[in-house]
Every structure is written in C-alpha cells, then in structure tokens.
Amino acid sequence: MDIILDDENQRIYGEETITYHNNSTDNLEYLWLQLDQNKRAANSKTPDIQGSGASPLYSLQNFSDNFITPFDGGFKIEYVKNIDNNDISYVINQTMMRINLERPLGSGETYSFKIKWWYNINNHVEQGGRSGFEHFPDDGNNSYVIAQFFPRLCVYNNVEGWQNNQFWGRSEFALEFGDYEVSITTPNDHILGATGILKNEKEVLTKTQQKRLTEARKSFDNPLIIVTQAEATKTEQSKSKKTKIWKFFAENVRDYAFATSRKFIWDAMAVDINGRTVMAYSYYTKEANPLYGDHSTRAVAQTLKTYSRVTFDYPYHKAISVDGQMGMEYPQICFNPGRPNPDGTYSERTKYRMLGTTIHEVGHNFFPMIVNSDERQWTWMDEGLNSFVQLIANRDYDANFPLRRGIPKNIVPYMKGDQSKLSPIMAAGDDLYEFGNNAYAKPATALWILRHTIMGPELFDYAFKTYAQRWKFKHPTPADFFRTMEDASAMDLDWFWRGWFYTTGANDIGIKEVKKYYVTDKPTKQAEKLAARYGMKVDQLSPSLYLISEDSDEFSEELKNKKPEDYKLLSDYIDSNFSSEEKTNLEVPKYFYELVFEKLGELVMPIIVEFEYEDGTKERKQYPAQIWRKNDIEVTKVFPSSKAITKITIDPDEETADVNTSNNSWPKTTETTFSKFKKSQIKG
Ligand SMILES: [Zn+2]
C-alpha cells in the first residue's frame, strides 16, 4: 500500500495491491471488500437508521453536517484493476464492495488486484468516529489517528461463508490475517507510529532519535524519551513543506493502522516477554502530558506482561498507545483518551480512566487481534473476554486499582432492569440494548463468576489459557469458547452458558425456611408412616435413629439435652465400627437443619451458604448449581452440625450477582423503624 497523508486538506490517498489466497475448499465467484469509510459518505444510511430528536445544542461542525450539507468522508474509488491493468467490474453496496472475478477463484488459488482511492478525513473529536484527526487551534496543528482507512477483505470462513454484514458504526470488524507492506508519506516534520516493523529508521528518524531508541531497547525498568516535549513544542511552531516516506512491514496481522503528527512526544521502553524483547511505545501531544509520560508506556508494558501470562506470549515486536481522545484498538497500536488539566495536574479519576482504557485497548492485541473472533457479529467475544483479563492487568499495574466493570455486584442494577430493554449476550452488536453492559460488563462478570465461584481459579485459568492458545491466529465462534472451557476442565457448563449468554434472566436465590431437628431412638409417627408405605412396622426394619423436628407435637424439651451418642443404639454401633483411634476424632452432629432454598430468578446458580454458630465461628458450604436440576423452584437440604446455628446467609460476599438480597438471610432481618431512620439520616 502506498499512502499519502495530505495534512493541508485533511485527506488521505491510497493505492494498494491485494493478493488474496483462497485457502477455503470452495471456488469463489467474487470477493467482498469492506469500505468502512462509506459509513461517512454523504449518502450513508447510518444516520437514517438512528432515531434522533432535536438537540438543544449543535457545534458549528455538527450543525453544518446535520442541516446544511452532510460531510462527505466516503471512499472515492478511482479504479479497481487486475494485475494486467485491466479494469475489473465491481459493485458497491454501502460499506461493502463486491469484486466480480473474471473467472471463479479455485480452492488454493491466488488472485492479485489493485485499488486506488482517497477520502476526506473526519475530525473525530467534533464528528465522532474510531479514526480521524484532532485539530489543535492554539498551534494550528492536527493529530491523526488513522484506521479502517483502506479497502480490506471480508472474512470468508467455513462456518458462514462471507461475513459481509454492513458497518453501521457500532459493531466492529471481522478481518482476515495478512502481511502488509506499507509506505506512508507524511510532512517531513511528522512523527509516526504504525502497525509493523519500521524498515527505514535511518531515513525517517534523526541521529539523536535513533541513538535514544537504541538505548530504550535496553531499558526494561523505565521509559526513555525519543522525542522530548521541548522538541515537539518547537516542531509544532512551523509546518514543513517537504515530505518523507515511512516504510513498514507487518506480518500476520488482522488489520493496519497508524497515528501521526508533528506534535508527537514519543517515549519507549523494553518489555521482557519470556526472554524475548518487545517494545512498548507511546506517542502523545503536550496536551496529554504529564499524564501520558507518567503512565502510558508503563501501562502498555504491564498489559503485555499480564496478558502473556494469562493467554500466550505476545508474538509481535511492539505495542503502541497513542493519545487520541478515544479508546480504539488495532494490531500493535491503539488510541486512548485522557488529558490532564491545563496546569498539568490530574485527578485520580482521570488517571484511572486513562489507565483503564489504555490497558483495555492494548489488551485487544490478544482479543480480537490474535484470537480473531468476529466482532461484527459477537461483540462479547472480544469485549467481554478482554474486559475480564483487563481486571487482572489493572490490579497488576496498581494494587489499589478501582474495579467496576466485571465485578458481580455491579451488574445487579442492569440485570434487574426493565426486561424490554435487555438483550441476551448472544445477540449481534448493532441490535443490542445497553451496549456497554451487554457486550462488556455482563460477559466479563460471567467470566469473573466462572473463575471465582463456579470453576475455581485452577480449572478456569488452565481452560481459559487453552482457549486462547487453541484459537490464536484463527477464527473462533462462541461454541469454540464454550466447548474449550468445558473440554479443558471436565466441567459441564451448559447450564451456565444457557442462562448467562442466551437469556436475560437474573439470579435470585433465597432461604425460605429453616427447620431444626434432633435425634431420638423412639420411632416417630412420621417414621411409622414411612414404614407403612412398604407394608412394615419400624421394628421390622434394621435398627434406626429418628429425626424429630422442634415444632413437632411429639417433641419434648429433654431431647435438647441429649447427644446422639447418648443413645445406646448409636454408641454400640460406634464401638463396633470404629477403632479407638478413629473414635478420638469422631464428631457426631447434634443438630440437623433442614434448609429450604427458593429460586425466584430465572438463572441457575450454585447456592453459597454461610453458617454462623452460637460460638461466633462461621462455616461455608457451596451447593453446585446442579442442585436445581430436578426442581427449578425450591430445593431442600439437611445440614448436620454439632454446634447450634444462629445465622444463615446466602452469597455472603455478593459473588453471584443476586438481584434481591432481602431473602438471603435467616432469621429474616427485619428493619426496625429506628434502623431505617438511621439509614435515611446517613443517605441525606
Ligand atoms: Zn474494547
């Protein structure tokens, strides 16, 4: 690809040669290409499918785009030619272009063709978008973050053939792996970061920059500055009329993106990934400093380390974070938000937002850039998995990192919300209600619960790593994820996927009733009844003990003072069945609690029960979700104990996203008027 950036007019020109390898077993009559920028074409249907009211305020740019003349940022295709320079026929349907092949491309065959194009770059701060330029009125310069900027192949796979769903702007991308040879022409005073290995460092970087870069390649503890703020500030005071060409080669990447400006400060640091050096880079304007200088490259480095530990060693040679006023990810490069106050100070909130996004976007290098799921169809497969691993990296970077998205109790308000405004996770991104909760927070929470509550870290971590390794550089579908998690752990999780991913149900498990039983050696009426069902009397059965409930009319207070081993029947049994050594450690329960659990929510979940005893000690018992398989509404369990229970709490750590905790304890906690009054005082 030969790319020319026209900074004066904010335009981009490209000429590309694509060589397509038909690795499928099918013959292809045509090829589909994605023209993502047509979402910004003057005749784009994207604005037409969104309901909109009258806004009280429009920026001049937005007023003009909406009411005077729509911005035209669509592709201008100058030609599509075969390798012999003959025109090829093609059809454009909005953001998709069909190349009509002269003859079908057979399985295993290769086809090369050329496309020439240009488009007007949008101001992404004013007009929105995942790509574009930001204008800095103070110095008159632009900063470019350029992505989905060239016609690129759609995915053809053995699951659904061509993935050519339109790009409406929200659901992201389905992309093939490929090798890229790219030349980018920029003004001579620009600094540029891009996907791929820079092939002509000596031609585009100064001697000083090259020397600093060589030093940075050995700096594993701290980032070193390649272009200082003072140098960048000086550069932005004039505009070079000359140009230079940056040459890159990227191998086996899913996409290509770059960022460039004469305003860029640049720092770099080496990261050791299991003995291999990977570079972490940040490019940022002075407006983003010192926030970016303090944290950006360090966050990139931490993300590569954490994700490599959790999934597989990061296979590329570098990862870049660019100060771009938005969060968006591409192979080896991502754009991030967050700027300090004009005086250079920044709040904890600003810092954690910038760090959270940076770690998230760098993390996308693993999902979906390498574990190459279809973002257009299944947003959760990259956003959900990535949001989950991000939580681990956040805490690796800063032990006090505030975690929000992905923590079970934080998803409760969403899950108990209006059912008509919820979609299952297994829905296409463009059609989702509450995109953020549905595609990011809920799947991340589901994985958090799987790891912490259902599978346990040992089984989960191994299975998750297996999924990542098994599907790297491939196109996994949801079933591939579900299957691998079960395959590598020997856990049947079908119930979990069904509830959490295919429905909008919520979890609400409560404790409905608790009955206390004691042991007696005198047959109860209940026992006689049971024997009668088999046409017998209890004395015809083998010797037995009987449980008698505290509220039974046969119950007498003296039973409370008896221990089971006081009954000769049991003490004889113990004597003849246990060795004296075994007997010293023997603990015979005195109390038998019959617990009735009710399930008011649609989700099936384990029941986590905490018992508090009269001596103040506590004990936990977790009943697997399978407890619900024969009765989806109510289950009963008997719990033996040598100490009296004073309190029972379900899900004491709020780890199951139970949407109603008012039924989670026994005895029922009734709020007194006074405690309600106290609470209202605190709130006020
Ligand atoms: Zn994301």
Contact present, 144 and 133 (Cβ < 8 Å): yes
What's the 380 CA to ligand 1 centre distance in angstroms?
Answer: 9
Q: Structure tokens of 663?
A: 């039924």
B/e letters for 84-100, b = 16+ CB within 10 Å, e = fewer, are eeeebebebebbbbbbe
What's the 2 CA to ligand 1 centre distance in angstroms?
Answer: 29
What's the 378 CA to ligand 1 centre distance in angstroms?
Answer: 12
Kind plus residue range of the DSSP H or E element containing 141: strand 141-146
What's the 172 CA to ligand 1 centre distance in angstroms?
Answer: 10
What's the 367 CA to ligand 1 centre distance in angstroms?
Answer: 9
Q: Cα separation of 595 and 474, whole Å?
A: 49
* Residues of the chain falling short of pLDDT 70: 670-684
Pairing of strands 141-146, 132-136: antiparallel
What's the 373 CA to ligand 1 centre distance in angstroms?
Answer: 13
Find all residues with CB under 8 Å of 297, minimum gap 6, and list them: 223, 267, 268, 269, 280, 281, 282, 321
What's the 387 CA to ligand 1 centre distance in angstroms?
Answer: 7
One-letter amino acid at 94 equals Q
- List residues, by chain if needed, whose CB lies under 5 Å from ion ligand 1: 383
What's the 384 CA to ligand 1 centre distance in angstroms?
Answer: 8
Contact present, 330 and 363 (Cβ < 8 Å): no
What's the 444 CA to ligand 1 centre distance in angstroms?
Answer: 12
What's the 364 CA to ligand 1 centre distance in angstroms?
Answer: 6
In this prediction, residue 683 carries a pLDDT of 41
What's the 375 CA to ligand 1 centre distance in angstroms?
Answer: 10
Contact present, 120 and 71 (Cβ < 8 Å): yes
Phi-psi region of 473 (alpha: psi -120 to 50; beta: other; left: phi over 0): left
What's the 90 CA to ligand 1 centre distance in angstroms?
Answer: 33
What's the 202 CA to ligand 1 centre distance in angstroms?
Answer: 35
> What is the residue whose two structure tokens read 């993106």?
257
What's the 43 CA to ligand 1 centre distance in angstroms?
Answer: 29
Phi-psi region of 198 (alpha: psi -120 to 50; beta: other; left: phi over 0): beta
What's the 360 CA to ligand 1 centre distance in angstroms?
Answer: 6
What's the 386 CA to ligand 1 centre distance in angstroms?
Answer: 7
User: Could you give the 3-state DSSP secondary structure of residue 49?
Assistant: helix
What's the 301 CA to ligand 1 centre distance in angstroms?
Answer: 18
3-state secondary structure 622-684: EECHHHHCCCCCEEEEEEEECCCEEEEEECCCCCCCECCCCCCEECCCCCCHHHHHHHHHHHC
Find all residues with CB under 8 Å of 125, minimum gap 6, and list them: 132, 134, 135, 325
What's the 196 CA to ligand 1 centre distance in angstroms?
Answer: 21
What's the 85 CA to ligand 1 centre distance in angstroms?
Answer: 40
What's the 264 CA to ligand 1 centre distance in angstroms?
Answer: 24
Find all residues with CB under 8 Å of 231, minimum gap 6, and list them: none
What's the 322 CA to ligand 1 centre distance in angstroms?
Answer: 15
> What is the residue whose two structure tokens read 């100064």?
206
What's the 356 CA to ligand 1 centre distance in angstroms?
Answer: 11
What's the 331 CA to ligand 1 centre distance in angstroms?
Answer: 13
Find all residues with CB under 8 Å of 395, minimum gap 6, and list them: 401, 403
What's the 459 CA to ligand 1 centre distance in angstroms?
Answer: 26
> What is the residue whose two structure tokens read 């690809």?
1
> What is the residue whose two structure tokens read 């969403």?
414
User: Could you give the 3-state DSSP secondary structure of residue 31?
Assistant: strand
What's the 652 CA to ligand 1 centre distance in angstroms?
Answer: 31
In this prediction, residue 494 carries a pLDDT of 97
What's the 170 CA to ligand 1 centre distance in angstroms?
Answer: 12
What's the 129 CA to ligand 1 centre distance in angstroms?
Answer: 14
> What is the residue whose two structure tokens read 């999780």?
493
What's the 570 CA to ligand 1 centre distance in angstroms?
Answer: 63
What's the 429 CA to ligand 1 centre distance in angstroms?
Answer: 13
What's the 293 CA to ligand 1 centre distance in angstroms?
Answer: 23
Q: Structure tokens of 333?
A: 């490069």
What's the 391 CA to ligand 1 centre distance in angstroms?
Answer: 13
What's the 236 CA to ligand 1 centre distance in angstroms?
Answer: 32
What's the 658 CA to ligand 1 centre distance in angstroms?
Answer: 26
Give helix 379-397 / helix 442-449 axis angle, nearest 10°. Answer: 60
What's the 111 CA to ligand 1 centre distance in angstroms?
Answer: 34
CB-based contacts of 482-488 (< 8 A; 24+ apart in sequence): 485/450, 485/455, 485/460, 487/463, 488/462, 488/463
What's the 46 CA to ligand 1 centre distance in angstroms?
Answer: 22
What's the 326 CA to ligand 1 centre distance in angstroms?
Answer: 11
Pairing of strands 2-6, 178-187: parallel
Q: Cα separation of 327 and 113, whole Å?
A: 33
What's the 327 CA to ligand 1 centre distance in angstroms?
Answer: 8
What's the 383 CA to ligand 1 centre distance in angstroms?
Answer: 5
Find all residues with CB under 8 Å of 422, minimum gap 6, and list them: 414, 415, 433, 434, 438, 504
What's the 56 CA to ligand 1 centre distance in angstroms?
Answer: 31
What's the sign of the alpha-carbon dihedral 38, 44, 45, 47? Answer: positive
Q: Cα separation of 319 and 24, whole Å?
A: 31
What's the 567 CA to ligand 1 centre distance in angstroms?
Answer: 65
Which of 378, 422, 393, 198 minimizes the C-alpha distance to 314?
Answer: 393
In this prediction, residue 679 carries a pLDDT of 54
Q: Structure tokens of 353?
A: 């937002």
Q: Structure tokens of 627?
A: 């407890």
Q: Cα separation of 283 and 297, whole Å?
A: 9
Burial class (CB in 10 A: 0-12, 13-18, 19+), 486: middle
What's the 361 CA to ligand 1 centre distance in angstroms?
Answer: 6
What's the 193 CA to ligand 1 centre distance in angstroms?
Answer: 20
What's the 404 CA to ligand 1 centre distance in angstroms?
Answer: 15
String of DSSP letters for 305-367: HHHHHHT----SSEEEEEE-SS-EEETTEEEE-----TTS---HHHHHHHHHHHHHHHHTTTT
What's the 174 CA to ligand 1 centre distance in angstroms?
Answer: 14
Q: Cα separation of 150 and 156, whole Å?
A: 18
In this prediction, residue 62 carries a pLDDT of 87
What's the 354 CA to ligand 1 centre distance in angstroms?
Answer: 14
Kind plus residue range of the DSSP H or E element containing 388: helix 379-397
Reported as a single tens digit per residue, the pLDDT across 31-81 is 999 999 999 999 888 888 877 788 889 888 888 888 888 899 999 999 999
Q: Cα separation of 527 and 385, whole Å?
A: 54
Phi-psi region of 211 (alpha: psi -120 to 50; beta: other; left: phi over 0): alpha
